[in-house]
Amino acid sequence: MSEANSSPSAKNKEEKPKLKILAFHGYRQNGTLFRGKIGSFRKAVSKYAQLVFISAPHRVATDDGTGDEDARSWWFNAEDNSFSGKCLGGPAIGFEDTLNLIKEVVEEYGPFDGFMGFSQGACLVGILAAMQQKGYLPYTFKFAIFASGFRSGSLVHKGFYDEDINLPSLHVYGESDSIIPKEMSESLINLFTNATVAEHLGGHYVACSGSVKEAYLDFLHERYQDLIETQQTYESKDI
């Protein structure tokens, strides 16, 4: 049900700690495919972060009506069990299953320092950040990274967006993204009081070159420094 492609292993006390990030794929992807597609990102952030990839619980139906094992969705916002980021006013079919899955993954592999998502996965991370702000989650995370993020148009999610979100966040989007236009990403960004934004000239993918790569590294360096300082504080108390 979940894939921890970079699952945690026994820690070597001599190794420096890394930020642990739970990664959420886009619609019609899965954890394994997403991991393969963002190799440049994984390599770029490997100094600071360890990524854990999971797959959404719902199979996306094929033309013959069967479920495609490789194509997954975190929820559906149309009655025919499909999803579109541009759909407004629809349901959120299967969303509770996703919340239960994440809770199980956090219990088994967490805690996680941050969440990272692409497209529908980024939309999900935005909802989770809003739910955390309201105290609705049984776990916590300290920062969020969004690639082609947007607000959910599902009716049951509208209430999550009624207040500012006080969570350090990095938002990356493409100026020529036709699937999730930049205006949709900007609408999500406006919710975050501590947002860092990196725009690239490309389309709908996880960009990781030039100034965008530097934005990832700068953002994670700050989060990493927080981790080290926290660890040093705990160690000093143990002395």
Catalytic residue among 25, 73, 177, 200: 177
Catalytic residue among 73, 119, 154, 185: 119
Task: Please state the separation of Cα 185 from the chain's center in Å.
Answer: 14
Residue 174 tokens read as: 């493409």
204 is a catalytic site residue: yes
64 is a catalytic site residue: no
**What is the CB neighbour count within 10 angstroms for residue 40?**
13
Reported for 229-232, long-range contacts at CB under 8 A and 24+ positions apart, including other chains, are 231/17
Of 156, 46, 35, whose CA–CA distance to 91 is shortest? 156
* Percentage helix, strand, coil for the chain under 3-state DSSP, each rounded to 5: 35, 20, 45
State which amino acid sits at residue 75.
W
Answer yes or no: are the C-beta atoms of 187 and 180 closer than 8 Å: no
Q: Within 13 Å, how many C-alpha atoms sit on residue 62's CB side? A: 7
119 is a catalytic site residue: yes
Angle subtended at Cα 169 by Cα 224 and Cα 24, rounded to the nearest 5 degrees: 90
Based on its alpha-carbon atoms, the radius of gyration of the chain, rounded to whole angstroms, reads 17
According to DSSP, the β-strands at 58-61 and 143-147 are unpaired
Catalytic positions:
119, 177, 204
